[in-house]
Structure 1
Amino acid sequence: MPQIHSVKYAATVLVPFRNERHHLPQLLTSIQKLSYSSLEVIMIDDHSEDGGYEWLQEEVAKWKLGYITLIKSAGEGKKAALSTGVTLATSSIILTTDADCSLPEDWVQAFLSEFDDEKIQLVAGPVLTKRGEGWLRRFQYVEWSSVLLLTNFFFKTKSPQMCSGANLAYRKEAFYHLKGYLGNENLLSGDDAFLLRKVQQFFGNQAVKYSLDRRLLVWTTAADSLGDLMSQRIRWAGKWRGFGSKVNALAALLSFVFGLMNIASFGWLLSGNEGWKIFAVWWGSKLMVEIYVLTFPFRYWQIRWKMMDVLLASFIHPFYVFLVGIGTWFSQPTWKGRPVIQAKKQA
């Protein structure tokens, strides 16, 4: 591993994974390129069934990657895996990412610099999906931009609602002080948002931050199918419902209603008379606003984007939001083949 930067903090990177064998080579290459000299990486296997753990064992031994430790999770689910990792971490600052991500070289140093402010207990970073071929990957490329913007908006308004465990850092002492994920263990996912909520409520808004530092931008892999994408977003929506937050409820309701209005606007085309003019004004206004807003992250970081991708996303998004909204109420979300909501164990 390259040793480029001076050390101010030691850092531990936690990577929980389950059945991610096809993503692990990319992640391992990314980890090897991290430009930080005092680094501990703990990769926690959450009962994988695809040989990923065994493959990692071979690669770590083959390349003599002594700073990487492989362990089996002591429980079931992402929270249990992360809790296992925190227990073994030797550093005061914990960084987390997912197995399907690519990390920028200065990722660790950029995160740690945020903790120079002693008030900061948790820092969230931006995540975008890689642009690929096909309408679904092009849609996700733009749709993730909307997630990023919404996350940033809530942080700026002192009401953080979400963040991503694919790009997160926090003080280990804060994690222990708040007793980790105690209180929401029956939800297999949601490790990121529930921890954010705990930190913000106990330490205050000044203790949490969303950073747009370019060095923190993590790229994740797009969902392979519409079903996978829908399942992920329904799981997210269910997680936010678990907060019982009025802000969450209002944001979800407005998004759903606006999506319905966009779908209903097609009725103007069928109404005859001058309906097409109303439709043109409605969608023309919608497109102009979304082109300006949704491309902000790409323009801010000087990332290549295509107008056709934004137009495609603008057309698909109302139907997508409608389906996610319906799915949130009438389906049981799953994560890695397991129900997200588990029965609470009796004491």
Structure 2
Amino acid sequence: MGGTSSLPYVSVIIAVRDEEVYIGNLLESLSKQNYPVEKIQFIFVDDGSTDNTYNIVYEKIATDNRFNLIKAGEPSKFFSPKKWALNKGIKIADGEVLIMTDGDCTMEENWVRYMAEFFMKKEIGMVLGSSPLGLSRSIWDRALRMDSIGLDALMMSTLIAKLPFTASGRNLAVRKIAFDEIGGYDSIGQFTSGDDDLLMHAISKSNWRIVPCLKKGSQVESPAPKGWAEFFWQRIRFSSKGKAYFQLDFVNSSFRLGLIFIFVVNLMVFLSQLFFLIYKDFFYLLPWLIKIFSDYLLINVYLSKTKESLDLPFFLFNEVWHALYVTVFGLIGPFFPVYWKGRKSKTDLSNNAY
């Protein structure tokens, strides 16, 4: 680790809504951060919680002056509620580096330090960290954890190739100057999601570098969706920006081609699985076997960097249905209403959706 004198001032921004079950764990994780107290602040923005979230955080700020709490208020019609809340926090942030996470997350004590150290290099505009889902050893959690690790592996590989592809709002950092230069969330405010990957695409269009943080201890963990219904609506939210990728002018054309390629590959794999079931000819499994091998190599390279091991049974289990769910959600996501935290949006392409 570098010396503390050159570390940047950091503002950790957390938009929270109805997180009373998990917020205590996050507060404990943040309290233990190994970072100079004079160079860090935690800003919680309550996004209209209907439970005890606000009061739990309020009790914390009375005992630790690094913590701040404000209310988001009613969002503008040009902003989705979460981006409105994050924007409120960013406006009062003193840090030269903004780190975002969610109210149900936990992290190790060096998380902030590992993310912030990258910004000692002046060309770095954004840092993306790992954010696996699933905290238990249940079948459900192990399957979804491997699925989220696959997304993190995609994040790492595409950043190395200098073609940023995905990001997670549970674990990202951005230089405030870079955030301001692109106009913050102004061009993406209406989208229900996208405080992570759409922001990444906007930063990528500028001259700032985006890098992954793969140090052991830098990842952020959070619970997996509770059952199929939560999983369905989470994936609808993730895929709801599908049409926007082809409409926003700052999205790289190479990314668009890559997105089409991934969809077509998964469609072909799904059809090959279907044809195998119909015709019982192992030849049809060849595309699927190629995908399994490619995914295995990609994820193993990623896990070698993060010093973790592959959960092989659940990797193979996910490969059975992965192509189907990528194809289905890729097709329907942009056209479904998005439900999140008790709110519904009619469409991500309308400024009047909220």
What's the TM-score once normalised by structure 1's chain length? 0.87
Over the matched positions of the two proteins, sequence identity in percent amounts to 25
Contact 1:139–1:312 at 8 Å: present in 2 too?
yes
Letter in 1 for 2:328: L
Q: State yes or no: 1:316 paired with 2:321.
A: yes
Match of 2:45 in 1: 44
- Once the two structures are superposed, the pairs formed by residues 7-26 of structure 1 within 5 Å of their partners are 7-8=5-6, 9-26=8-25
Match of 1:73 in 2: 72
Change (3 A) 1:10 1:286: closer
Q: Equivalents in 2 of 1:240, 1:325: separation in Å? A: 7
Unaligned segments of structure 2, at least 5 residues: 76-80
Q: Equivalents in 2 of 1:124, 1:91: separation in Å? A: 18
Match of 1:167 in 2: 171
TM-superposed CA distance for 1:65, in Å, is: 1.7
Contact 1:142–1:294 at 8 Å: present in 2 too?
no
Q: What secondary structure does 2:196 align onto?
A: helix
Q: State yes or no: 1:129 paired with 2:133.
A: yes
Q: After superposition, give the CA deviation of every residue in 1:241-272 in whole Å (9 maximum; x if it has no partner).
A: 32324444433433333333333334334425
Match of 1:140 in 2: 144
What's the TM-score once normalised by structure 2's chain length? 0.85
Q: What secondary structure does 1:199 align onto?
A: helix
Q: State yes or no: 1:192 paired with 2:199.
A: no
TM-superposed CA distance for 1:46, in Å, is: 0.6
Q: Equivalents in 2 of 1:127, 1:157: separation in Å? A: 20
Q: Equivalents in 2 of 1:269, 1:342: separation in Å? A: 39
Q: Equivalents in 1 of 2:220, 2:341: separation in Å? A: 22
Match of 2:269 in 1: 262
Letter in 2 for 1:142: M
Q: What secondary structure does 1:86 align onto?
A: helix
Q: Residue 6 of structure 1: which of 4, 7, 25 is its match? A: 4
Match of 1:227 in 2: 229
Q: Equivalents in 2 of 1:98, 1:78: separation in Å? A: 10
Q: After superposition, give the CA deviation of every residue in 1:85-132 in whole Å (9 maximum; x if it has no partner).
A: 111112222111111211221112112211111111222222222353
TM-superposed CA distance for 1:75, in Å, is: 4.0
Q: Equivalents in 2 of 1:199, 1:282: separation in Å? A: 35
Contact 2:237–2:338 at 8 Å: present in 1 too?
yes
TM-superposed CA distance for 1:334, in Å, is: 2.5
Q: What secondary structure does 1:97 align onto?
A: strand
Letter in 1 for 2:108: P
Q: After superposition, give the CA deviation of every residue in 1:50-73 in whole Å (9 maximum; x if it has no partner).
A: 221112223443xx1221111101
Equivalenced residue count is 335
Q: State yes or no: 1:336 paired with 2:337.
A: no
- Once the two structures are superposed, the pairs formed by residues 198-217 of structure 1 within 5 Å of their partners are 198-202=202-206, 204=207, 206-217=208-219
Change (3 A) 1:81 1:301: same
Q: Equivalents in 2 of 1:200, 1:17: separation in Å? A: 27
Letter in 2 for 1:338: R
Q: Residue 306 of structure 1: which of 307, 311, 319 is its match? A: 311
- Once the two structures are superposed, the pairs formed by residues 270-309 of structure 1 within 5 Å of their partners are 270-271=278-279, 275=281, 277-279=282-284, 283-309=288-314
Q: What secondary structure does 1:121 align onto?
A: strand
Deviates more, 1:325-334 or 1:12-21: 325-334
Letter in 2 for 1:53: Y
